[in-house]
Amino acid sequence: MHIQKQCSRSQDEYSLKYMSGHMGRSRQKSGDDGDQSLIGPPSSTSGHLLDQNASKPCFVYMLALFSGLGGFLFGYDTGVVSGAMLLLKKEMNLSALWQELLVSSTVWAAAFSALAGGSLNGWLGRRVCILLASFIFTIGGIILSLAPDKVVLLVGRVIVGLGIGIASMTVPVYIAEVSPPHLRGQLVTINNLFITGGQFIATVIDGAFSYMSHGGWRYMLGLSVVPAVLQFCGFLFLPESPRWLLQKGRSQEARHALSRIRGGQNVDEEYDSIRSSIEDEEKESGGGGIVILRMLKYGPTRRALFVGCGLQMFQQLSGVNTVMYYSATILQMAGVRDIKRAIWLSSATSATNFVFTMLGVWLVERVGRRKLTLGSLLGTGLSLTVLAFGFLMSAQYSPPITLHPVDPQNLTCTLYGSCESCMLDPDCGFCYRENGTAVYDSSCVPVSAASTDHAAWGSCYNQTGQELPDSSLWAYNYCPTPYSWIVLLSLILYLAFFAPGMGPMPWTINSEIYPMWARSTGNACSAGVNWICNALVSLTFLHIAQMLTYYGAFFLYSGLVVLGLLFVQGCLPETKGMQLEDVDHLFSGPLCSCGASAPPTDSSNVQYTRNLPETSPAQYGAAGSDRAIAFITLR
């Protein structure tokens, strides 16, 4: 260590500078644990302005809570459709195609509006986009509650999807831009806590209204209007993102909004830092032009976009929304006979999702984004494998077909040899009797065109709505099995691992990794990828299950999770604790560098400057000197 001193007169203050060519604060890589300062300030009173404001974050929490209602709407729709679909399938006699259309139409609409949301955010701002999203969702919820047929229901689902898509890409950006660095990860994760909370509330409402013999689904779908109206009213009184205002040249409004968010404290330092960073980012990116083209030409944003879109893609390819959209259906497939019981059991999976998302809120700023994501993917892959084995056990011990009656309609149902193969054909159902756990007099017969509640003919044919004659039991979409507990347990384990990591982290990381000029477009693209993959998975699940069997579908998702694990291990850096304006430098080097947690720095030259209090030059043995500077060279 070499120390060189000169004398000075000024107040006691500290500054830290890189003597290398790298930008940003002095940081040192510490494995995957994030960044550690090489030299810190001597006391808490000389910390950064954001740390001074950290003692009064109440208004920031209020912003996050009202913003999180957008996540609640997202989660509520995801959760409510699971139970509503069981009632709609029965009441409207929906085919597998129509079930998939009603589920995936919302997702495709959300994909479109999320992609368009980047331009809307740049034009209208974060606050107005959230207001627009809640208004659209309100209109969609009203249409769903009053829909007279499946076509109008489809229109309502599309409108709801447009609102969800805008909110899904806007809310994380808004929260990230108004949050101090030490709270940003937790507050963005709160949005995902609201998503899982919405899913849980939705399944409870599904269970409550499943006892209605007719029209219960209207209340399930229509109650989403309440949080949408609440969010709209709240955002009428909340400020715009100061960073967006500065980007638009509205400096006075930006300063006022930032001061309001920080509790009225002095924000000069933070304001100047944000403004200079935005100006520097614009210069580095090459100025004006189409944003997405600028992102693709500029190396750091191109690499960040690849990582952000990859995270969102693997989140959906892990099959999470198959589990959420079809949780009640999956439980029925696993042998849970009663619709009401399947709905209530699906609420247990949603409760697990909610509880373990709270764990993610606690862990995100402690273990970091990267470790949390890796651990989540590992557990998710193992749980999907157990889920697949549960269906495999049910298939191997599926009740055999013992009766093969002559089919007057000349269909193929009577040719199947087991309940498992019978269930994979959407035109067939399983008719049987049982004595305890023993199944006998079983047959595979066509389902009625009027209702899936009974067969088209034979002993399970019933038009009265009463119990079937001769103690016969009718199963459509499930087989009697003693292994349904394995499926329920694996669903709970799946969500326990998914919820704290792969649930919130793609959204949290995407809200952090883009510079200001590219943040809206980057989040729009990654959210669009999320919704497109969501739509592909939800639209194809029932057909994949028919082609590959139920266990084959979940083995497929498990394999995709392994690919996601390799992607995260190789390409995801750690962003914990960094200023938004500094994260861009993580992507200045080559991609897939084994998850480096900080940009490469030359730590051999760090200048540490301390301006000493007023004193006599003679004390330093250097007559005539008027400054004292300490240089520390780390070797």
Please check the confidence at residue 379 and state whether its pLDDT lies above 90: yes
Please check the confidence at residue 18 and state whether its pLDDT lies above 90: no
Report the pLDDT value the prediction gives residue 463, as an integer from 0 to 100.
59
Report the pLDDT value the prediction gives residue 425, as an integer from 0 to 100.
84
The first and second tokens of residue 346, run together, are 């699906």
Q: Which of 214-223, 309-318, 393-402, 472-481 has the lowest mean pLDDT?
A: 472-481
Report the pLDDT value the prediction gives residue 325, as an integer from 0 to 100.
63
Report the pLDDT value the prediction gives residue 54, as an integer from 0 to 100.
42
Report the pLDDT value the prediction gives residue 1, as an integer from 0 to 100.
41
Report the pLDDT value the prediction gives residue 311, as an integer from 0 to 100.
96
Q: Which residue has the higher pLDDT, 609 or 561?
A: 561
Mean local confidence (pLDDT), 9-38? 37
Handedness of CA 235, 240, 244, 249 (dihedral sign): positive
Report the pLDDT value the prediction gives residue 492, as an integer from 0 to 100.
85
Q: Which residue has the higher pLDDT, 465 or 602?
A: 465
What is the distance between the terminal CA atoms of the chain, rounded to a whole angstrom? Answer: 7
Q: Which of 11-20, 148-157, 220-229, 399-408 has the lowest mean pLDDT?
A: 11-20
Q: Of the ranges 53-67, 361-375, 400-414, which is most confident?
A: 361-375
Give the pLDDT confidence of 572-620 residue by residue, as tens digits: 998 887 877 778 788 887 765 544 444 444 433 344 344 444 444 444 4
Please, are residues 381 and 562 in contact by the beta-carbon 8 Å criterion?
A: yes
Please check the confidence at residue 166 and state whether its pLDDT lies above 90: yes
Q: Which of 89-103, 109-123, 596-610 has the lowest mean pLDDT?
A: 596-610
Mean local confidence (pLDDT), 299-313? 94
Give residue 213's pLDDT band: very low, low, confident or very high (50, 70, 90): low
Report the pLDDT value the prediction gives residue 132, as an integer from 0 to 100.
96
Domain boundaries, the chain: 58-392+484-571, 398-475
Give residue 498's pLDDT band: very low, low, confident or very high (50, 70, 90): very high
φ, ψ of residue 442 in degrees (nearest 5) = -95, 145
Please check the confidence at residue 3 and state whether its pLDDT lies above 60: no
Angle of helix 126-146 relative to helix 225-235, nearest 10 degrees?
160
Give residue 549's pLDDT band: very low, low, confident or very high (50, 70, 90): confident
Which CATH number describes the domain made up of 58-392+484-571?
A: 1.20.1250.20
DSSP-derived 3-state class of residue 13: strand
| pTM score above 0.85 | no
Please check the confidence at residue 136 and state whether its pLDDT lies above 80: yes
Place of tokens 């694996």: 490
- How high is the mean pLDDT of the chain? 78
Contacts of residue 188, Cβ cutoff 8 Å, sequence gap at least 6 = 172, 175, 176, 179, 504, 507, 508, 511, 512
Please check the confidence at residue 45 and state whether its pLDDT lies above 90: no
Beta bridge partners of 607: 17
Please check the confidence at residue 156 and state whether its pLDDT lies above 90: yes
Query: What are the helix (H) ranges across 368-398?
Result: 369-396
Report the pLDDT value the prediction gives residue 596, as an integer from 0 to 100.
47
Whole-number Å distance between alpha carbons of 579 and 597: 14
Mean local confidence (pLDDT), 14-27? 36
Q: If you ran DSSP here, which 8-state letter would residue 585 be given?
A: G
Which residue type occupies 358? Answer: M
Query: What are the helix (H) ranges across 249-298?
Result: 251-261, 268-285, 291-297
Q: If you ran DSSP here, which 8-state letter would residue 574 be given?
A: P
CB atoms within 10 A of CB 95: 13
